[in-house]
Amino acid sequence: MAVTVRFYAAARKAAGISEIQLEPASAMQLLDRAVEAHPNLAQVLPQCSFLLNEVALHDLSTQVLDGATLDVLPPFAGG
Amino acid sequence: MANVARAFVTTEVISVSDLAAAVRSNTSGAVVTFSGDVRDNDHGREVSSLEYEAHPTAQNLLEKVASEIAARHEVLSVAVAHRHGPIPIGESALVAAVAAKHRKAAFDACSDLVDEVKAQIPIWKHQVFADGTDEWVNCA
């Protein structure tokens, strides 16, 4: 089992991939592992907001459980 | 309590007149529309093509924002649509329409609606410049 981390827009460009699978961990640990695997993410992540199973996540110490999805959203630019 | 006539994301062309018609009624004395259009320039550089990407939650969040605006202002009806995918220069990316009994409430609510969409909806703009370089807007 694993969790899915999905990257959108500029985060996907920085990662070079749209999603990765990782072992369950806290959101912060997952993001650290994502940066280890895809170092260019480090430039984008400080500007990003996050969704856990499509709900806003403000506390990155939250555990992301098996089967969950963590979304990485760069600053919005609609309109 | 005002109603939300339309709130949707789409890859199709958005018609300003369709949204205006959706909010208009015999009780409304003012209809204000806004069309956010794709420009051929950004911070002094020529834009050759542009594409928006929408998160899967964009539809639900757009409905939520429209409902909030309808509840917050003295208006009768609200409609909003955001296009994603590639959009040709000159076409609408974001369209909003608000009907109210009087113009001030319609202007205020329409402006508020556009501000909230830009702040709250997970949609991103990717533009390609004439020199071949590209950028995701708001993400240097």
B136 is a domain residue: no
Q: What is the ipTM of this complex?
A: 0.94
Kindly give the residue spans of alpha helices, DSSP state H, lying in chain B. 16-23, 58-72, 103-120
Chain A residue with minimal CA distance to B57?
A: A54
Cβ contact (<8 Å) for A78 and B125?
yes
The CA distance from B109 to A64, in Å, is: 39
User: Which domains does chain A possess?
Assistant: 3-73 (3.10.20.30)
pLDDT tens-digit profile of B57-93?
Answer: 999 999 999 999 999 999 999 999 999 999 999 999 9
CATH code, B11: 3.90.1170.40
pLDDT band at A1 (very low <50, low <70, confident <90, very high): confident
What range defines the domain where residue B70 resides?
Answer: 3-131
Q: CA torsion sign, B127 to B95 to B113 to B61?
A: negative
Instruction: Look at residue B140 in the predicted model and tell me its pLDDT.
Output: 63
Based on the structure, what is the number of domains in chain B? 1
Cβ contact (<8 Å) for A9 and B139?
yes
Cβ contact (<8 Å) for A9 and B120?
no
B108 is a domain residue: yes
B44 is a domain residue: yes
Which helix (H) or strand (E) segment holds residue A25: the answer is: strand A25-26
Q: Token pair for residue A36? A: 């280890």
Contact list, B121 vs chain A (CB under 8 Å): 76, 78
Cβ contact (<8 Å) for A54 and B126?
no
B139 is a domain residue: no
Instruction: Look at residue B139 in the predicted model and tell me its pLDDT.
Output: 86
Angstrom distances, CA of residue A9 to CA of A25, A49, B103, B126: 24, 13, 38, 8
Chain A residue with minimal CA distance to B119?
A: A76
